Amino acid sequence: MPLGQRAGDKSDSRYCGVETGFDDDVPRVLSDNLAGGFDFLVAPLIDPSYRPSLLKRDANGSSPIPFASSDLLLSPSQWSSHVVGKISSWIDLDSEDEELRMDSEIALKQEIAWASHLSLQACLLPPPRGGSCGNYARCVNQILQGINNMQLWLRVPLEKSDSMDEETSDATCNNLSSRLTDSWEWWNSFRLLCEHHSQLFVALDILSSLPSSNSLGRWFGEPVRAAIILTDSFLTNARGFPCLSKRHQKLITGFFNHSVQIVISGSLVHDISQGSIEGLPISNNDINFEGTPIRHPLRPYLDYIAYLYQRMDPLPEQERFELGYRDFLQSPLQPLMDNLEAQTYETFEKDTVKYSQYQRAVCEALLDRVPDERASTTRTVLMVVGAGRGPLVRASLQAAEETGRKLKVYAVEKNPNAVVTLHSLVKLEGWEDMVTIISGDMRCWDAPEKADILVSELLGSFGDNELSPECLDGAQRFLKPDGISIPSSYTSFIQPVTASKLYNDVKSHRDLAHFETAYVVKLHRVARLAPSQPVFTFNHPEYSDKKSNQRYKKLRFEMPADTGSAMVHGFAGYFDATLYKDVHLGIEPTTATPNMFSWFPIFFPLRRPLCVPMGSPVEVLLWRCCGATKVWYEWCVTEPSPSPLHNSNGRSYWVGL
């Protein structure tokens, strides 16, 4: 049964598995574990004593397949839903012993073929042995070319790569670094040899000792499907029940949020006969499929994992809304070339937080613009450029009512379909005396009078990527010399990220163009490797004679010392905007406007993922280029190793003027 009911969470992390040993009586093992509360088994498919080299062959040189029981032991749905195949742990494909190496290769392929025949959803591969995994990865890569939907989970122990106290000196760290083990390195070598295959995943063995938080953070951008918690990793609380350290609890909660399933492994090491774990009852009356009362020996550990799951807060409404967009690549809007559809307008208009910030900004601008003694006699001219279906018009008029100021509004919109809705809105609200609708491009319109305040919502995920600078450059000519632009400035930000899923999704297109496109994406399964840094800033109005919207920036990111090596699949981009004075909105993680969902981050992929050794900086170069008919970005990495220049001359991705 699921660990619990958490509003909004329908992910696989609700289900907990158990690792078992080999047993010919698979139906009994499955029924006993399901009755004990577990949802699936991680179980060997063959007798561990089987070795291909020990088989007796017939006269034709062939041999039967003696290593597996009948597929009829369980129904196809039971095999598929409740069993993860565990590949034999004795396998060593990089052994110096040729017979063991050959046995291992034959057995691996036989077991995977049998698991595929059973329609299993996944198989657990044993961890690499020693320092080499080349032949192992080669064989797995061959297998990956031939399987359809089954996943392969590489078992990796989450070993502590920074086993010294935090106060240990840097010199000591340097002396010991060569002797420390980083299991991420195992995984990275293996997946590189397997060409980042999309069906290769990780199953992490969670041990009693954990690496640093920054080191652990790398895994949230990797394709981790399961976390195997060993029973001897559990502590004992004051009442004798199993529990986990605070750091373990935080890690498991993070896995729950990233659709990682928990698997309990090992034997009972806590002597519990009755009682409860953190307020949860421990049942002594679980019933197996024969109606016999049983008590699963690992139930106390399952109950504790369920407790951790159930005490998590429900997903906020915003997160539930965004679930379907998580790690889903979307092409950025072409605001000047394309007219938005009604559904897109409706989605953006639901973001009440954004428009309340705009209303605050207009309120402050009106109060600064018109003192109280002139409030009844002065009418402020406000132009909404890019009015859409009218949310900024409404916010501006509400600001005027709130401050007691008089307002004359010009609503400029190029989309003729949205203009129809604007006319209907003005008539419905009785705004005819206050609002004039202009159907046309703001860059071409000749305004009959100058504006006191210019309001726009032309910002994209990267600030300037929907051509706000170019549009406002064209519109600022009808702003008074002392006029106010809302927004008054905006800055883009980037940071290096591990994003295995996004990389594989881009790679699946098998062309250059998709690797040279910047995508809008709700980032979820990513590891943010260093704090974000500012890139390009634009101010409005901007009257300089030397004004140019072209930009170039070189940025250098230093990874935290305790992170270890890492893989950079690309760069996440954000923006922060000042609407007016102290009123801002944005999506940069450290300053993001709470509960605002109009913008997802942008993602700049790398054609070749960048391996960053421990202690090495990442240097990235980014250009904003402007032509007569388009604007585009180019980007590359120069350290720790050079990458190709992406999107040269806007050959793959550009925004049309």
The predicted-structure confidence for 519-541, as pLDDT tens digits, reads as follows: 999 999 999 999 999 999 999 99
Domain 12-51+67-162+181-315 is classified in which CATH homologous superfamily?
Answer: Divalent-metal-dependent TIM barrel enzymes (3.20.20.150)
Which residue has better confidence, 338 or 603?
A: 603
Measure the CA–CA gap between 625 and 614, rounded to whole angstroms: 33
Q: Residues 149-162, buried b or exposed e (16+ Cβ, 10 A)?
A: ebbbbbbbebbbbb
Residues 6+ apart with CB under 8 A from 605: 502, 503, 506, 514, 515, 517, 519, 569, 570
What are the boundaries of each domain within the chain? 12-51+67-162+181-315, 342-457, 489-656
pLDDT band per the 50, 70, 90 thresholds, residue 282: very low
Residues 6+ apart with CB under 8 A from 343: none
The pLDDT tens digits of the residues spanning 542-593 come to 988 888 999 999 999 999 989 999 999 999 999 999 999 999 999 999 999 9
Q: Please, what sign has the CA dihedral across residues 179, 182, 188, 190?
A: positive
Measure the CA–CA gap between 166 and 213, rounded to whole angstroms: 12
Does 355 show up as a binding residue in the annotation? yes
Above 70 in pLDDT, residue 312?
yes
Measure the CA–CA gap between 90 and 388, rounded to whole angstroms: 65
* Choice among 105, 364, 466, 516 that is catalytic: 466
Measure the CA–CA gap between 208 and 128, rounded to whole angstroms: 21
**Cα 469 to chain center, whole Å?**
29
* Choice among 457, 470, 516, 588 that is catalytic: 457
Measure the CA–CA gap between 203 and 220, rounded to whole angstroms: 12
Which residue has better confidence, 67 or 311?
A: 311
State which of 311-325, 326-340, 357-371 shows the largest mean pLDDT: 357-371
At the top level of CATH, the class of 342-457 is alpha beta
Query: What is residue 71's predicted lDDT score, i.e. its pLDDT?
Result: 87
Query: What is residue 67's predicted lDDT score, i.e. its pLDDT?
Result: 57
Task: Show the tokens assigned to 186.
Answer: 């195992």
Amino acid at 180: L
Amino acid at 600: F
Q: Please, what sign has the CA dihedral across residues 115, 116, 118, 121?
A: positive
Query: What is residue 167's predicted lDDT score, i.e. its pLDDT?
Result: 36
Measure the CA–CA gap between 338 and 656, rounded to whole angstroms: 9
Query: What is residue 171's predicted lDDT score, i.e. its pLDDT?
Result: 34
At residue 28, φ and ψ (nearest 5 deg) are: -65, -45
Is 466 considered catalytic here? Answer: yes
| β-strand partners of 151 | 122
Does 136 show up as a binding residue in the annotation? no
Query: What is residue 65's predicted lDDT score, i.e. its pLDDT?
Result: 53
Query: What is residue 270's predicted lDDT score, i.e. its pLDDT?
Result: 81
Measure the CA–CA gap between 397 and 425, rounded to whole angstroms: 13
Is 322 considered catalytic here? Answer: no
Distance set, CA 123 to CA 46, 80, 154, 495 (Å)? 13, 11, 9, 35
User: Could you check whether 12-51+67-162+181-315 and 342-457 share the same CATH topology?
Assistant: no
**Cα 423 to chain center, whole Å?**
41
pLDDT band per the 50, 70, 90 thresholds, residue 273: low
Total residue count of the chain as it appears in this document = 657
- The residue assigned the tokens 């158990």 is 18
pLDDT band per the 50, 70, 90 thresholds, residue 169: very low
Measure the CA–CA gap between 466 and 657, rounded to whole angstroms: 10
Residues 6+ apart with CB under 8 A from 290: 31
Measure the CA–CA gap between 108 and 91, rounded to whole angstroms: 7
Supply the Cα-derived Rg of the chain in whole angstroms: 30
Does 441 show up as a binding residue in the annotation? yes
Does 354 show up as a binding residue in the annotation? yes
Does 442 show up as a binding residue in the annotation? yes
Q: Is 533:494 a contact under the CB 8 Å cutoff?
A: yes
Entry pTM: 0.90
Query: What is residue 175's predicted lDDT score, i.e. its pLDDT?
Result: 35
At residue 136, φ and ψ (nearest 5 deg) are: -60, -50
Name the region of 8 (left: φ>0; alpha: ψ -120 to 50; beta: rest). left
Above 50 in pLDDT, residue 288?
no
- The residue assigned the tokens 């965004």 is 322
State whether residue 313 is helix, strand or coil. Answer: coil
The pLDDT tens digits of the residues spanning 33-88 come to 999 999 999 999 988 888 888 775 555 555 555 556 788 889 999 999 999 999 99
Above 70 in pLDDT, residue 640?
yes
Domain 489-656 is classified in which CATH homologous superfamily?
Answer: Hnrnp arginine n-methyltransferase1 (2.70.160.11)
Q: Which helix (H) or strand (E) holds 507?
A: helix 500-507
The pLDDT tens digits of the residues spanning 394-442 come to 999 999 999 999 999 999 999 999 999 999 999 999 999 999 999 999 8
Measure the CA–CA gap between 89 and 144, rounded to whole angstroms: 19
| β-strand partners of 496 | 571
DSSP string, 79-145: HHHHEEEE--TT--TT-S-HHHHHHHHHHHHHHHHHHHHTT-SEEEEPPP-TT--HHHHHHHHHHHH
Does 413 show up as a binding residue in the annotation? yes
Measure the CA–CA gap between 510 and 505, rounded to whole angstroms: 10
